[in-house]
Amino acid sequence: MILGLKIKNILFILFGAAIFAFGLVHFNMQNNLAEGGFTGITLLLYFLFGIDPSITNLALNIPLFFIGWKLLGRHTFLYTIIGTVSVSLFLWIFQRYTIHMPLKHDMTLAALFAGVFIGVGLGIIFRYGGTTGGVDIIARLLYKYKGISMGKTMFTFDAVVITLSLLLYLSYREAMYTLVAVFIAARVVDFMQEGGYAAKGATIISEKSEEIANRILTEMDRGVTVLKGRGSYTKRDRDVLYCVVAKNELPRLKNVIISVDPHAFVAVTDVHDVLGEGFTLDERKQPIEH
């Protein structure tokens, strides 16, 4: 622990910052693609005036550090400083030790790789408690307090900055490919935030609900919640089972249900975030290290 921060989180934030900066230098800057948010502003200043993005990234984020201190809490604030400073550091490094891979002859490939690298880098940083400053702080606050997707918030800000970039230096062709990259990055961020570990929730209605629940408990070691339901047509009260399992356990769950009651009604839904015993806590209620 360093100042109450987890070493694992710090290392992953540094790793995410390196991926993010690598993508920005090698796919955005080399192929004249813009970006959104504060990163887009740093690129705009780079392409118009040649100002080093590693410098402007820090300069633009200093005011937001104070907002972050008040609203994000001490730990997130410190992780944010680590994320922002490490992005600037890796931008400085990759600009001086660059792998030349111009893809202007294949802008589709450039946009795809730009989106994936930036999305994966940001996704890792977000997942381990950090941000890279700028719009990332705003997106994280909206996600934390309003439940608004980080990707959607970032895409809105991105559109504004990209429009400004189009008016000042981008060609229409480059602007369209930039939008592709930004959209991919937003989807990757959402996936890593919500779908990196997707579980499945099963709602089960059966005449043999008690037997099904016992089989799930004994054979799969998964908890089952018994809800009270009433059929709208039959007007009969019956037990409704709800069970959450890991994605790879779903076929086994279906087999257990069918073996007990082939006529059972089963509705399966995606569960994007699971907390508690069997997922984030072990049987002793201690955190599970992944």
pTM higher than 0.85: no
**Is domain 199-271 given the CATH code 3.30.70.120 in the classification?**
yes
Show the beta-strand stretches assigned E in the chain.
Answer: 199-205, 225-230, 237-246, 265-271
β-bridge mates for residue 269, sequence order: 201
User: Where exactly does CATH 3.30.70.120 map onto the chain?
Assistant: 199-271
Segments in the chain below pLDDT 70: 1-4, 68, 70-73, 136, 140, 194-198, 273-290
Cβ-count burial of 152 within 10 angstroms (0-12 exposed, 13-18 middle, 19+ buried)?
middle
Q: How far apart are CA 67 and CA 208, in angstroms?
A: 56
Q: How far apart are CA 4 and CA 126, in angstroms?
A: 18
β-bridge mates for residue 78, sequence order: none
Residues 103, 108, 109, CA angle at the centre, nearest 5°?
Answer: 55
pLDDT at 2: 62
pLDDT at 154: 72
Q: What is the pLDDT of residues 126-162, one digit of tens each?
A: 888 887 877 767 776 777 778 787 777 877 887 788 8
Distances (CA, A) of 35 to 143, 166, 220: 21, 11, 47
Tokens of 250: 């779903």
Cβ-count burial of 15 within 10 angstroms (0-12 exposed, 13-18 middle, 19+ buried)?
middle
Q: What is the pLDDT of residues 175-216, one digit of tens each?
A: 899 989 988 998 898 888 765 556 889 999 999 999 999 999
Q: Which residues contact 242 (CB under 8 A, 6 or more apart)?
A: 201, 202, 203, 204, 224, 225, 227
Q: How far apart are CA 205 and CA 288, in angstroms?
A: 32
pLDDT at 63: 80
Residues 193, 19, 273, CA angle at the centre, nearest 5°?
Answer: 10
Q: How far apart are CA 120 and CA 126, in angstroms?
A: 10
